Amino acid sequence: MVRAVPPLVAVGCGITSPALACGVCSLGMVDLFLPPALLWFLLPLSWFVAMGAASSLLGLRLAGQPGVLGSIGLTLAAFLTGAMVLGPLASAPLILPPAYAFLRAVWMGAPDLSGRPRRVLLAIGTAHLLAIAAGVAILIHTQLTRTDSAYICQWPDTALGRSKFRDLRVLEPASLPQYRYIAEHASGPLVGDAADRLAEIGNPSEDDPVLDRALGRNAADSDLAGRIVMARRRLDQRSRIESPRPAPRG
C-alpha cells in the first residue's frame, strides 16, 4: 500500500507528465517529515466535500463553505493542483471552513447549529478527527521505524528518493543491508540499481540468494531481469578473482 502512493495519485489524475512528477515529489518531500503524506493530502478534501454536502442537505450557511457542487468543484481543483504541483499544500486550506464549522457546532452558543444539523456536523468532524489521530499514530511509528531504504522504495521516482539512493554510496560497505532491502522490496529500475551495487561490493554467500529472489519477482520484465542476471554474474566473477588461491604444496 505504501509503495502504491505515487501510482495512486497518477491514476487519480488520469495523467502522466512532468507536472505530475512535481506533485509526487512534493508528496515525497512532505512524507519525509510528516508521513503519511497521502492522508494529509486527502483528508481536507474529504472533510470539505462532506461539509458541503451537509450544508446543502440541511440548508445551512457555513462560513467559507459552498454547497455540494461548489465543494466538489473546489476539491477537484485542489486535487489536480496538488497532484501536479503542490502536493498536500494545495488541499490544506480547505480544512479551515469545516474545522471552523465543527468548532461552532461543539460550542453550544451557535443558535443556527443545534438539533439535527449540530449532530451531523459533530459526526462528520469527529470521524475526521479520528482519522487525524490515526495519522498522528502512523506518523510517530513511521518516524521511529522507517529506514532510508524503506523511504527510497516508497518514493523511488522522486528527486529526494533518488538523492537518498545516491547517498548510500557514501556509506558503503555499511549500506549493503540497505541495497539488499531495496533489491528485494523495490520495483522497476531501482531494483537494477541496487543489484549493480551488490555486484560491486556484495558477497555471493549473502547476495546470490537476494539477487535470485529479486529475479523471481521481476522475471516478467525482461530488461530488468537481464540486469539482475548480469549483476549476479559480475558478483560471482569478482568473488572468484578476489578469493585467495590456495598456497602450492611442497
Q: Is the pLDDT of residue 244 over 60?
A: no
Percent of the chain residues past pLDDT 90, beyond the cut: 74
Considering only CA atoms, which of 63, 53, 67 is closest in space to residue 102? 63
Q: Which residues, listed in sequence order, are joined to residue 62 by a DSSP beta bridge?
A: 65
Residue pair 49/57 in contact (Cβ under 8 Å)? The answer is: no
Q: For the segment 7-54, what is each residue's pLDDT rounded down to a tens digit?
A: 444 434 333 444 445 778 889 999 999 999 999 999 999 999 999 999
Angle between helices 204-217 and 189-201 (to 10 degrees): 170
Residue pair 184/152 in contact (Cβ under 8 Å)? The answer is: no
CB hemisphere CA count around 80 (13 angstroms): 7
Mean pLDDT across 192-217: 96
Grid coordinates of 7: 501510482
pTM attached to this predicted model: 0.80
**d(C-alpha 130, C-alpha 213), whole Å:** 40
Q: Is the pLDDT of residue 245 over 70?
A: no
Angle ∠(20,23,25) on CA atoms, nearest 5: 110
